[in-house]
A and B are shown apart, each in its own frame.
Chain A
């Protein structure tokens, strides 16, 4: 089997691979990801991340999202999927939205395929209105964009909800989603796969 990032042959594997299923990345690539349980609060809601958003993680995420490399979908949650399954038992995953244009351009739903491997119930109650990409915006502009997220018509949310995203930089998207959550939701938690350094 080849490592999905560097393409080198991945012989042997580790002891853990026997019980945990083979890691699609080789140890070398995996080591460049900085695994760290990051806990913080976003608008008073407890949030958790598993990785530091460093160069290795961001290049992998860009290859997955922007270049459309769907083969990488299981790479991100491979190490933490069991943990997440137990930690957030009973929650419904609630994925952050992208614009329709983005979906069409990519041809697949990147968060949906990323969180698929958890085998937990998933909903997508939000829609994103603006087409502007956040990448080039500053913090203040991003926070103003909060209003760009709305609840889809006729969306029904369960009582326990886990807001999921791939990465958190300023928290604008997530706090936008928090602000439109209906009253019926009793318990909210946030999980992002990676977090920018400023949340450390």
Chain B
């Protein structure tokens, strides 16, 4: 037996109810009966002319090459776009999306985090002025059909065998990563191929590439051509760790700084402490008005934001400096550290940034992160 929706084959998760067998692993998405044939959802045809697009700025030569390669490959196979943070991954797939839309095929852009969905919907609506770009995520589920659908990975259960192209952004981010139900749903919502966009592919994706189920394209350079900021690792005893942090913040007093910490509790404590010296914002998973805080942080062009891993992805602040506090903590993995370091130097006007990792002891993950970034810089020539 296999669940038609989440592809579960574990017998323990199946249960025989009064109407027949159903899968309990994906029950939060409603009951999926095993014996009943599931119909693909009928979505409206795509409007003519929705494939036309205009980018905000032209792609660089390197970007153009990857973008064209991707559009060519996607007809026959799945593609992994392995590109460094801030290399404009979204813009790279625009050509492929436009190609599909011109052929009247359904495309979905799926992202694990809800916050990014709304941001991206606006961006894509700007690129495709003639298309109806809709966002489907928690709180925005009244309308589920458009020319181009931007959705959280949780919402993909609505579309059984619907999409001709699924663009999966950051498949290594929480909560998609390591969640078999969401992986299964992402498999069954499409009938065509898939593009994965990430800077830090996990072992599963790399395994697929090795098995030739997927083709990997790499882009190791940001559009401005400057190398990625490589983190400086400093080892300081835990008790005195705030001292180098204070000195570092003092050095960047006139610039916006982000301080990543491993836990919500620590974020709150550190936030209180730092607000004695600096203009300080705390942003964690428990913060309710996160969007407003981020907007304010972008506006004020200086100050400190203390945040947990919720902020590690999909965020661009102009000229931001990054510090990871207790970078040796088990909460941070290599992918997360690469993403955090990737917050710095994303904008044309300020292509470099200062990244500092404060560790209590020598940490392999932090060192590997620095090595990965150095390697990417070396390959970028």
Across the A-B interface, the 7 shortest Cβ-Cβ residue pairs: A70-B17, A71-B15, A68-B31, A108-B18, A107-B19, A69-B27, A67-B27
Considering residues A7, A70, A113, which has the most beta carbons from chain B within 10 angstroms of its beta carbon?
A: A70
Whether B12 lies near A2 (C-beta < 8 A) is yes
Annotate B126-160 by CB proximity to A: 1 below 8 A, 0 otherwise. Answer: 00000000000000000000000000000000000
Q: Residue of A at shortest CB range from B30?
A: A67
Whether A70 lies near B15 (C-beta < 8 A) is yes
Q: Residue of A at shortest CB range from B31?
A: A68
Whether B25 lies near A7 (C-beta < 8 A) is yes
28 A-B pairs with C-beta separation under 8 A: A2-B12, A2-B13, A4-B24, A7-B13, A7-B25, A63-B27, A63-B28, A67-B27, A67-B28, A67-B30, A67-B31, A68-B17, A68-B22, A68-B30, A68-B31, A69-B24, A69-B27, A69-B31, A70-B15, A70-B17, A70-B18, A71-B15, A71-B24, A107-B17, A107-B18, A107-B19, A108-B17, A108-B18
- B376 to nearest A CB, angstroms? 38
Annotate A7-22 by CB proximity to B: 1 below 8 A, 0 otherwise. Answer: 1000000000000000
Q: Which A residues lie at the B interface, using CB under 8 A?
A: 2, 4, 7, 63, 67-71, 107-108, 113
Q: Residue of A at shortest CB range from B29?
A: A67
Q: Given the known A-B contacts A2-B12, A7-B25, A69-B24, are A108 and B19 also in contact in the complex, defined by CB atoms under 8 Å?
A: yes
Among B1-35, those with CB < 8 Å from A are 12-13, 15, 17-19, 22, 24-25, 27-28, 30-31
- How many pairs of A and B residues are in contact by the CB < 8 Å rule? 32
Annotate B212-255 by CB proximity to A: 1 below 8 A, 0 otherwise. Answer: 00000000000000000000000000000000000000000000
In the complex, A107 Cα to B15 Cα: how many Å?
15
Contacts A68-B30, A108-B18 known; list 5 others, CB within 8 Å.
Answer: A2-B13, A4-B24, A69-B24, A69-B31, A108-B19
Considering residues B13, B17, B19, B25, which has the most beta carbons from chain A within 10 angstroms of its beta carbon?
A: B17
Which residues of B lie under 8 Å from residue A67 when comparing CB positions? 27-28, 30-31
Which residues of A lie under 8 Å from residue B30 when comparing CB positions? 67-68
In the complex, A107 Cα to B31 Cα: how many Å?
11
Chain B interface size, under 10 / 10 to 19 / 20 to 34 / 35 or more: 10 to 19
- A45 to nearest B CB, angstroms? 32
In the complex, A108 Cα to B31 Cα: how many Å?
13
In the complex, A70 Cα to B14 Cα: how many Å?
11
Which residues of B lie under 8 Å from residue A71 when comparing CB positions? 15, 17, 24
Which residues of B lie under 8 Å from residue A2 when comparing CB positions? 12-13
Which residues of B lie under 8 Å from residue A63 when comparing CB positions? 27-28
Q: Residue of B at shortest CB range from A113?
A: B18
Which residues of A lie under 8 Å from residue B27 when comparing CB positions? 63, 67, 69
- A121 to nearest B CB, angstroms? 21
Which residues of A lie under 8 Å from residue B17 when comparing CB positions? 68, 70-71, 107-108
In the complex, A7 Cα to B180 Cα: how many Å?
13
In the complex, A4 Cα to B14 Cα: how many Å?
11
Q: Residue of B at shortest CB range from A68?
A: B31
Which residues of B lie under 8 Å from residue A108 when comparing CB positions? 17-19
Considering residues B22, B24, B28, which has the most beta carbons from chain A within 10 angstroms of its beta carbon?
A: B24
- A26 to nearest B CB, angstroms? 14
Which residues of A lie under 8 Å from residue B15 when comparing CB positions? 69-71
Considering residues A7, A67, A113, which has the most beta carbons from chain B within 10 angstroms of its beta carbon?
A: A67
Which residues of A lie under 8 Å from residue B19 when comparing CB positions? 107-108
Which residues of B lie under 8 Å from residue A68 when comparing CB positions? 17, 22, 30-31
In the complex, A22 Cα to B19 Cα: how many Å?
26
In the complex, A17 Cα to B25 Cα: how many Å?
25
In the complex, A2 Cα to B10 Cα: how many Å?
12
In the complex, A67 Cα to B15 Cα: how many Å?
14
- B27 to nearest A CB, angstroms? 5
In the complex, A49 Cα to B24 Cα: how many Å?
28
Which residues of B lie under 8 Å from residue A7 when comparing CB positions? 13, 25
Considering residues A2, A4, A69, which has the most beta carbons from chain B within 10 angstroms of its beta carbon?
A: A69
Among B155-198, those with CB < 8 Å from A are none
Considering residues B18, B25, B30, which has the most beta carbons from chain A within 10 angstroms of its beta carbon?
A: B18
